[in-house]
Amino acid sequence: MDRRKSLQTMILGGAAASTGLVFNSCKTETIDEAVAESSAKYFGRTPEELERIEKLNAEELFNAHEIETIAALSVVILPPKEPHGGPLEAGVPELVEFMGKDIPTMAPTLLGGLMWLDHKSNTEYGVEFKSATLEQKKQICDEICWHDTKISMDKQALEIQFFYMMRGLTLTGYYTSKVGIADLGYKGNQPNVWDGVPQEVLDKHGVAYDPEWIAKCVDQSKRGIIAEWDDKGNLLT
């Protein structure tokens, strides 16, 4: 499934704000040039998808300070660990910005939440959130990481909506990345050898293989042969 579409489905269900502001500033690279250069990078995308991806990549939602704050918050939410790293190695800050541009209703919550973090940190500790100690960051997050499940998310305070959104983006961004998948140990579909149901299981249930079928289906010397069937549905190979 397309990573961006799966994130849209997840986030729009609970965390996106209802306003429609968009914060964009175009970079100098043209969309046509970017699309031509990225067709290999984004394998399997349609021309329309490639154009949209590069259009969004050419826009800016966060300034450098805001990106650094997102990075600082993401590693509090999901601390990095060896050997695969954490949200920064997975490109979570970049993903957060992309999703904020792809779903414009998310932008006010993200930008407002970042402002809230700095205001809270400056008020409590005299420094911006990204410069606070890890313990101070945790204390701030402890105040906004829980919400009343009896109240819909769009009725929650801005800072709670923000943390809910950032937590979802951080975890989903990490575990749909190469490093996150490696951290899970996911191997995907891999070829193996199947020798049939163990004999003790067959005996337990009082069943047995047809000798003719077992010779055709479990003979490892024929595992590379493509099965063929006759017109009556009988297995030939």
Q: Does 161 share its domain with 66?
A: yes
Q: Retrieve residue 194's tokens.
A: 């199947």
* Residue 50 lies inside a defined structural domain of this protein: no
Q: Does 18 share its domain with 122?
A: yes
pLDDT > 50? residue 13: no
Q: Does 124 share its domain with 235?
A: no
| Sequential DSSP letters for 203-237 | HHHT----HHHHHHHS-GGGTTSPP-B-TTS-B--
Structural domain count of the chain: 2
Q: Could you read off the pLDDT of 24-48 as tens digits, one per residue?
A: 434 444 545 555 555 566 767 888 8
* Residue 166 lies inside a defined structural domain of this protein: yes
Span 62-85, average pLDDT: 94
* Residue 30 lies inside a defined structural domain of this protein: no
CB 113 within 8 A of CB 163: yes
pLDDT > 70? residue 191: no
Confidence of residue 192 (pLDDT cuts 50, 70, 90): low
Q: Does 13 share its domain with 123?
A: yes
* Residue 112 lies inside a defined structural domain of this protein: yes
Q: Identify the domain containing residue 228 by its residue range.
A: 191-237
Q: Retrieve residue 225's tokens.
A: 């042969």
Nearest to 115 by CA among 168, 63, 172: 63
Q: Does 128 share its domain with 215?
A: no
Q: Does 209 share its domain with 173?
A: no
User: CA torsion sign, 91 to 96 to 97 to 102?
Assistant: positive
Nearest to 166 by CA among 148, 184, 140, 134: 140
The C-alpha atoms of residue 153 and residue 12 are separated, in whole angstroms, by 11
Q: Does 203 share its domain with 169?
A: no
The C-alpha atoms of residue 181 and residue 174 are separated, in whole angstroms, by 8
Q: Does 168 share its domain with 203?
A: no
| pLDDT score recorded for residue 30 | 55
| Sequential DSSP letters for the chain | --HHHHHHHHHHTTT--S---------SS-HHHHHHHHTTTTTT--HHHHHHHHHHHTS--S-HHHHHHHHHHHHHHS--BTTTB-TTTTTHHHHHHHHHHHSGGGHHHHHHHHHHHHHHHHHHHSS-GGGS-HHHHHHHHHTTS---TTS-GGGS-HHHHHHHHHHHHHHHHHHTSHHHHHHHT---S-------S-HHHHHHHT----HHHHHHHS-GGGTTSPP-B-TTS-B--
* Residue 33 lies inside a defined structural domain of this protein: no
Q: Does 76 share its domain with 170?
A: yes
* Residue 13 lies inside a defined structural domain of this protein: yes
* Residue 53 lies inside a defined structural domain of this protein: no
Q: Does 96 share its domain with 14?
A: yes
Q: Does 178 share its domain with 195?
A: no
Q: Does 93 share its domain with 150?
A: yes
Q: Could you read off the pLDDT of 151-178 as tens digits, one per residue?
A: 999 999 999 999 999 999 999 999 999 9
